[in-house]
Each structure stands twice: as structure tokens, then as C-alpha cells.
Amino acid sequence: MKIVSYCVAFAAMMILGVSFAAAAPADPVSILSLAGHHADVAVAMAMMIPLNSRARGIMAVRGDGANATAVLNELRQTFETFKAEREKEMADIRKGLADVVQSEKVDRINAEITKLQSALDQVNATIAALKVGGADDGKPLSAERREHSRAFNQFFRRGIENGLRDLEVKAALRTDSDPDGGYVVPDEMESTIDRVLGTVSAMRTMARVISISAGVFKKLVNQGGAVGGWVSERQVRPETPTPRLSELEFPAMELYANPAATQTLLDDARIDIEQWLADEVSITFAEMEGPAFVSGDGVGKPRGMLSYDTVDNANYAWGKLGYIASGVAAALTDSTHNGADALIDLVYGLKAGYRNGARFLMNRKSQATIRKLKSKTEELYLWQPSIQVGQPATLLGYPLVDDDNMPDIGAGKFPIAFGDYQRGYLIVDRMGIRVLRDPFTNKPYVHFYTTKRVGGGVQNFEAIKLLKIAAS
């Protein structure tokens, strides 16, 4: 029977590949269902990651090492071509023979590099998400949690509670006694949602993430004051100042999604209900979280990194984020100013203790601009592609993370951040994702009001520095 199952799985893969090549619609879930439990995990990962159209055709960036390595090699070759064409463009400009066609060629190659790096980043993000805690710990579920999962499935399909609230307590899933807060989803579903959040939300993969059982997480920060000194055996020990402690609060705000399904869909035993709900709500949660962690105002949502007061790094004070000016009023660089200087100043504006774990954060358009920058002395490009699968591109030797929630380069903007986000930014997850089943509001659809409570904010203002587009 196993041989038959493997043959069916292979046939399913072939059908799926042909349908992609022919650009014909295909239902991957239906096709894979033919393969039973023996379908290869790599095939599943390949289908989870979308295809990327490029100048050389369509290529699926899959979770297996071979295809990811092929993209990495193509990225390296394309970057070498970019450097050669960029050199030719700059030589023509220096001779006063600027060629529009050559400049457009460089821009096309630059855009190709962005697509290749973005494709590779998808694989890297998936790998990072699995490490961040989005996957289960590999331990078998307890009998209580298996029983809760079965009861939750019945509640989801039929609205039958079957003592579900008591099962939550037995399975150690509930940490409060709110009778109207919905039912906590099973571990497998929450794990799937967290894994997608870790893939889509760049800040979640970098920041410190903790689970809390209360509505607010409070943290005391020592701002100094406990002064010491060296003394001899009989020397008087003078009294030292008392440490100054500041309290930071991180309230958990509510995030929701409200997917709907027909009762016919719910009655279909072949539909994996937990996977369906996780797929429906995870992207919604992730797309709401990402912008909030970067620029959220803290009102009904997490407080984003860029919403805090800023100050010139030379006048840095606790409670504000220090910035380095680009040196150009409305750009990173111009004909008389090399933006590399500002980036180097940004790196060394961060204390040495934070630089070991630091990385750059910016969007793809900013990366395309920085990719053209070279150091003044060695004439080396500051941006370098990934050197292996699972590793990001680097800038000045530091990892570079792509987040399109960061602003574009423009006057007065903060398009680039650099810091140790594990120490600088904190994300708090209120334990448990809850679901309220509503079969009445919009017949014949059954709505599933799904909520997650999450907060965030800067916890160490020394650990993050910003680049400001300004003359000074």
C-alpha cells in the first residue's frame, strides 16, 4: 500500500507542476489529498511559498535546499553583472558621456537583484519563523490537550460545546475566568498562526517576544545612579547615589479577524478546520502587526518604533531614539556627498555592546538605493548578497532585514534603523487565541470572531538608532 501511496503522491506532484506551467487554476489541497500521509514535506513547503515571476521565466522558490541554492547562485552572478555595468555607467559619467540606455540597464539589473533577494528572503523568513517559536516543540500532546482538540473540532463544526471550557482548564490553556471571551484554540492552530506571523512580520523575527498572562506587562529599567569606586583596606566608603528606576508599560491590545464559512463547508469531514481557521486569520494578524510594530501610535495598538520622540544622537537622552542625519536634505546621497558616511556614522552611533547583535532594517526601495553605494577608500560595495541559504544580505558586514513597513527615503523621514532589536524592542503576547462562533448574524454563513491580544514598544532606547534624511 505504501508503494501505491508514493505513486499517487508522485502523480499529484506532476499534475500540480503541469497546472502551474500552464497557468491553469489548480486546487493544491484537493490534489495533495490524493497522496495521503506520504506526500513529501518539501512539496508542501513548495506550495506554501508563492511563485516569483522574473525576467528569465517563472521559478518556484521552494523550501528544499537545491532550489534555494540555485536562487542564491543566480543572485551572486547577477550582482557581479550589476557591479560591472555600474562601473561602466560611472566611468561614462566621469567622462561626461552619460548614457541613458546604460543607466536604464543598471536599474533593470538592480531590480532583478531585488527580486532575487526577495525570493531568497522568503525561504530565509520561513527558516527564521521556525526558530522563533512558531513550530511546536516536537513533544507529543497530552491526553487532556488531545481531548480538548477533539472537542474544539466539534464546537467549530456544530456549535456543540461538550464541556469545552472545563477541558481548557484541564489542558492548561486558560489563564483567566472570563466566561464571554470565547474558547482558546488548540496548540496546533496557535502554532500555525505564530509561524505565519514570524514569516510575515519582520519585527517579530528580530525583537524579544514573551508571553504574558495579565493585560499589561510592566518592566523596571535602571537608568544609572549606583556609583561605585576603588578603595584601599582602611579607606572610608562614601555613600553612593540611589539608582534611578523607570517603569515601562506594555499593554496588550486586541487584534481580531472575523472569517466566515458556510455550514456545508463545516460539515465536510475532509476539511481540516483548524488549518482552515489558521490560514484565514494568520495573514490578517500578520499584516496588522507588521505596521504597528514599526509606526503604531500606541492607541488601541502596539507602539511602533518610529512613533517615539527622536533626537540628534549627539544629544541623546533616555526616552528618545537617537538619529544620525544623512547629510542631504531630501536624499541619502548626492553628487557631492557619499551616503556611505552616514551609514558608517549610524553603525558607530550605536554602543559597542549592542553592535554584536545589531542589524539594519529598511524597505526594498531603500535597499535598491544603497546597493549602488561604495566605500570611498577601497571602492567596495557596501551591500553584499547572502552567502548561504538561511542568511540575509549584509550592509557594512551587518545583516540586513527587509520590511516594507519602513518608510521610503524622503525629506525628514527615517527610512533606516540599525540596532539590536532583541534588546531594544519588546513584543508581548497575551496567552491564548480565542474564537467566538456566530451562526446567527449573517446566515447562511457562520462567522468565527477570532481575537489575539498583543502589545509592543521600545524597551531599551540605547539599543536602536535611526537614520534621518536631513542636511543636519
Q: CATH assignment of 135-225+240-363+403-472?
A: 3.30.2400.10
Q: What is the pLDDT of residue 55?
A: 30
pLDDT digits (tens, 9 = 90+) for 281-308: 888 898 899 999 999 999 999 999 999 9
Band (141; pLDDT cuts 50, 70, 90): low
- Residues near 234 by beta carbon (within 8 Å), at least 6 away in sequence: none
Does the structure show a pLDDT above 70 at 26?
Answer: no
pLDDT in tens, 321-337: 999 999 999 999 887 77
Mean pLDDT of 251-276: 87
Q: Average pLDDT, stretch 368-379?
A: 82
Cα–chain center distance at 196: 9
How far is C-alpha 347 from the chain's CA centre? 22
Q: Is 150 helix (H, G, I), strand (E, B) or coil?
A: helix
Q: Each residue of 41-76: pLDDT tens digit?
A: 333 333 333 333 333 332 333 344 456 677 777 777
What mean pLDDT comes out for the span 233-260?
Answer: 84
Does the pTM exceed 0.95? Answer: no
Written as one string, the DSSP assignment of 256-310 is EE--EEEHHHHH-TTS-HHHHHHHHHHHHHHHHHHHHHHH-BSSSSPBPGGGS-E
The chain-wide mean pLDDT, for the chain, equals: 77
Dihedral over alpha carbons 363, 367, 369, 373 (to 10 degrees): 150
Q: Range with the lowest mean pLDDT among 37-51, 200-214, 251-265, 343-357?
A: 37-51
How far apart, in whole angstroms, are the C-alpha atoms of residue 195 and residue 199?
Answer: 6
Q: Per mean pLDDT, which range of 11-20, 368-377, 381-390 is the poorest?
A: 11-20
pLDDT at position 385 is 85
The ranges assigned to domains in the chain are: 135-225+240-363+403-472
Q: Is the pLDDT of residue 376 over 80?
A: no
Is there a cis peptide before residue 444, judged by omega within 30 degrees of 0? Answer: yes
